[in-house]
Every structure is written in structure tokens, then in C-alpha cells.
Structure 1
Amino acid sequence: MLSDKEKEELAKVITSKVKTFECPMCHNHSFTIIDGYLIQNLQNSINSYVIGNEPIIPSIAIVCNNCGFMSQHNLGILGMLNKKQDESK
């Protein structure tokens, strides 16, 4: 689970990058940050799945409060990866 502090920081960073939030499906303007991180594994083949030693894309998702549409945001692009590593030291 994300702490309130983490959610506030993520919301601050996302709103600094995305000026207007509107769901592309239902045009709602209310979103919630999912309470955890998503990890996308990059795979070299569509015919097999490898676990470990594959690049990953850590991200967070925001969800439309009306229709449930999810929008994922890359933590590296948002500048949040180094902050997480620094806090764990």
C-alpha cells in the first residue's frame, strides 16, 4: 500500500505534467491513484514468458472514478525512481 505521503507526492508530480485530467472514455474529471505500484515485464518473444533478468517498467496507475479506465504512468519518466531508492537507504 502507498502511504499518504507517497500518494501526495505522486499526485503532485502527475499534476505538474498533466494539466487537465479528463477520462478519454467517459470525459469524467475525477481520478484515484491505485494503492500500489505496477511492474510491466518486457519480453523478447511473444511465444514465451521469462521471469527474471528481463527489463521492467515500474509505474503507477490512475483510475477514472466513473468508468474505471486506467492510465499508467512510468515512474522513471516522472522522476520518482531515484527518490524511492534514496528513501530506502
Structure 2
Amino acid sequence: MNEFNKQQAIDTLIEKAAIYPCHRCGNVKFAVLDGVSLLPLIECIDSHTVVDKMNTPIFHVLCENCGVLTAHSLGMLDLMSNK
């Protein structure tokens, strides 16, 4: 199992120009949280049934002033190992 590389995530956000101030309070200080979450996905919005193994791994960026969390997809940012 590969561990989440926080520095690689930070470098990727900078490379992608995801460096703007907080959308809620305008603060410029952020922290990338340790670890990742799995965002469960559903096939049909009417059923609200989570399908086994259907999710997307995300990491979170936290505004150090107001605490707002922003989720980023590891897959879209090519931060998931192919091993």
C-alpha cells in the first residue's frame, strides 16, 4: 500500500496554479491535511445507494483562518500510484 505524499500534492497544486486565496474569507494560508478520504459514489440519484467499491480518493486543503475544506481528486491530479 502506498502512502499519501503530502509534499507531492502541494507541488502539484502549485504546478496547476491552484494558489488563490480562500474563496470564503480571502486568507492566503492553507494546510494540506494528512491522509486521504474516500468519497462514495452512487449510480442513481433516486436510490441513494452507495455501490461497493465505487468511490474516488480525495485529499483536503484547509484554510488556516476560517477552516473551510476544499477536496481535490488524487486521480485527476495523477497522484495515485499505478502499482
Under TM normalisation by the shorter chain, which class is it?
Answer: 0.7 to 0.9
Residues 38-58 of structure 1 deviation map (CA, whole Å, 9 limit, x = unaligned): 1111112344433514x2111
TM value normalised by structure 1:
0.76
The answer to whether the aligner puts 1:11 opposite 2:14 as a matched pair is: no
For 1:22, the aligned partner's letter is: P
Map of 2:74 onto structure 1: 75
Q: 1:8: how far off? A: 0.9
* Cα-Cα RMSD: 2.0
Gaps of 5+ in 2: none
Map of 1:45 onto structure 2: 45
User: Quick check: which one's helix share is greater?
Assistant: 1
SS of 1:42's partner is: strand
Determine what percentage of the aligned residue pairs are the same residue. Answer: 24
Give the Cα separation in 1 of the matches to 2:27 and 2:46.
35
Greater than 2 Å deviation, 4+ residue runs: 18-21, 44-51
Give the Cα separation in 1 of the matches to 2:59 and 2:50.
23
Gaps of 5+ in 1: none
TM value normalised by structure 2:
0.81
For 2:50, the aligned partner's letter is: V
Say whether the 8 Å CA contact 2:41–2:55 is kept in structure 1.
yes
